[in-house]
Structure 1
Amino acid sequence: MRLTSFSVVAIAAIVLAGCVPQKKYDELQNRFNSVYAENQGCQTELASAKSKIEGLEDAIRSERGNLASLQNALAECLAGSKQGGANIAKLVDEINASNKYIKHLTEINRKNDSLNMVLTNNLTRSLSREEMKDVDVQVLKGVVFISLSDNMLYKSGSYEISPAANETLSKIAKIIKDYKDYDVIIEGNTDNVPISRPNIRNNWDLSALRASSVVQELQNAHGVDPKRMTAGGRGEYNPVASNATAEGRNKNRRTQIIITPQLDEFMELIGQAPDTGDVK
């Protein structure tokens, strides 16, 4: 499964200075085309993942409410001798079906939470104390966020992967490969300081190119299946701290590796809710 929606995606666009040779221009234009293709739909995909997980939780809450209504209707039937045994039997069957459905949804949700916890623990145990200074791991709404500092990942003002990042990326790649049923979004983020490079137009470009570099490093150097990955950039527009201070800007310059469960099964389950009809 590939995810389908998130906010607005940054599309890398490369503008060259007039003095750049045609061969270099063509090379960078080709790279731009590649990044453009990789980035389409990335942010909307992440929003869709969160929405689908919330949909599963809403389905559980809704079904529990429906179960309460069925139980109330059953109590009314039992209290009124004129309701008849057939109506009571039907309500009991509906209650049993609703209970079974809730149990199944809850087990799926619990399984996903457990896998995320194991994934997170395995990753943090594999990282050294020094590496953990540049890596932050969180689980939010069923999605694992691995945030990597730009100081560790890239050469300054560049989208080229630093040699120092290789060992850390290899450990993350191992976790990704171990959990084959998860999809991966690589999301670049910057501070609000304008970039000044002849082949990078602005922070949108820089963030998307950095995400693309991580995707290609995971694929080419560490064997992660490219079909599972999507690269996207959010420029300076997704800050986690104030850009008014050096410390805040440092926090905002980050790349997130977002690991999400494949949610087709969740949506199929939500669509298979038992039909209880009108509860009287």
Structure 2
Amino acid sequence: MKKLMTLSVCTMLLLASCVSKKEYLALEEKQKETQDLLNTATVKLNACLSDAAAANARVEAMKDQLEDLRKSNEALIKSSQDLTELTSKGAENLEKSLESLRESNLKITRLQDALSRKDSVTLAIVTSLKKEVGINDPDIEVNVEKGVVFISIADKLLFKSGSYNVTDRAKEILGKVAKVINGKPNFEAMVESHTDNVPYSKPPLLDNWDLSVKRATSVVRVLEELEVNPQQLIAAGRSYHVPLVENDTAENKAKNRRTRIIVLPKIDQFYDMIEKEMKNLSAGN
């Protein structure tokens, strides 16, 4: 641009020496118009360059925004995939939990059914005993504790004082008990004898332990004579260590001298029944 201006001046000087004043003024006017056009063009060029720079800056900013959006989109896609995977795993775990819960509920139901059957049998035993044994006798009690049937017989009905020989009256009572036990071959009958706290020592017996055990075995032998399966029978002596009441009066001591016949399901058979139910449950699944 400087070269152009210099050339114009030189041309004017050269022409000034060669042309008339009128022509010179015309040329000068023309040069001025040209200069104005040049200035205008320069201003427009600078404005265009400025606009171009601004446009390039906006393009770069938009490229950065586009890159950020691309990265955000990729992150969202990955998050969506992770969420889908987690949701799928969560649904799978929930289904497993529900299935496990259903199995547990079914097992509980099976156990409850087994216990209900046992309780039904227990109730039947109580009903039979109340019919068979003289339940109106205050010296004979039949009750249920925690699903187990207890027949408590005062010792005065079974033995004479200080003796372990069963009386004839006792054999009549035990005959009715034997009838009920024989009707339940899957149950056991534990004969549990108790004494009061009066020391006992009468050869060949040494103490209350010996007396309680001997009385229990005497009752077991009578039940065996009454054709009760000996595999169902258990003899146990408790001496005076599990009293019903304090041994502080003659009346209380009489209450503590007792024999209990405990009718209960065979534990191994009961658990076999539960295990069988569990196996059936597993096979069904």
Q: Decide: shared fold, TM above 0.5.
A: yes
Which structure would you say has the larger RCO, counting Cα contacts within 8 Å and 6 or more residues apart?
Answer: 1
Aligned counterpart in structure 1 of residue 134 of structure 2, from 122, 125, 128: 128
Deviation string 1:207-226 (CA, Å, 9 cap, x unpaired) is 00000000000001x10011
Aligned counterpart in structure 1 of residue 123 of structure 2, from 117, 120, 123: 117
Higher helix share: 2
Aligned counterpart in structure 2 of residue 160 of structure 1, from 162, 165, 172: 165
Deviation string 1:72-124 (CA, Å, 9 cap, x unpaired) is xxxxxxxx955454333323321221121010000111111111111011101
**1:170-249 → structure 2 map (5 Å cutoff):** 170-220=175-225, 222-249=226-253
**1:28-177 → structure 2 map (5 Å cutoff):** 81=87, 83-128=89-134, 132-177=137-182
TM-score, length-scaled by structure 2: 0.63
TM-score, length-scaled by structure 1: 0.64
Amino acid at match of 2:120: S
Specify the SS of the correspondent of 1:97.
helix
Deviation string 1:26-52 (CA, Å, 9 cap, x unpaired) is xxxxxxxxxxxxxxxxxxxxxxxxxxx
Shift of 1:250: 0.4
Aligned counterpart in structure 1 of residue 259 of structure 2, from 249, 255, 259: 255
Please give the alpha-carbon distance, in whole angstroms, between the structure 2 residues aligned to 1:84 and 1:150. Answer: 67
Aligned residues: 194
Change (3 A) 1:242 1:86: same
Shift of 1:127: 2.4
Shift of 1:156: 1.8
- Flag structure 2 segments of 5+ consecutive residues without an equivalent: 1-85
Amino acid at match of 2:257: R
Shift of 1:147: 0.8
Amino acid at match of 2:266: Q
Shift of 1:259: 1.2
Amino acid at match of 2:252: G
Amino acid at match of 1:200: L
Root-mean-square deviation over aligned CA pairs: 2.3
Specify the SS of the correspondent of 2:121.
helix
**1:263-274 → structure 2 map (5 Å cutoff):** 263-267=267-271, 269=274
Please give the alpha-carbon distance, in whole angstroms, between the structure 1 residues aligned to 2:134 and 2:217. Answer: 26
Match of 1:55 in 2: none
Percentage identity across paired residues of the two chains:
38
Bigger-Rg structure (1/2):
2
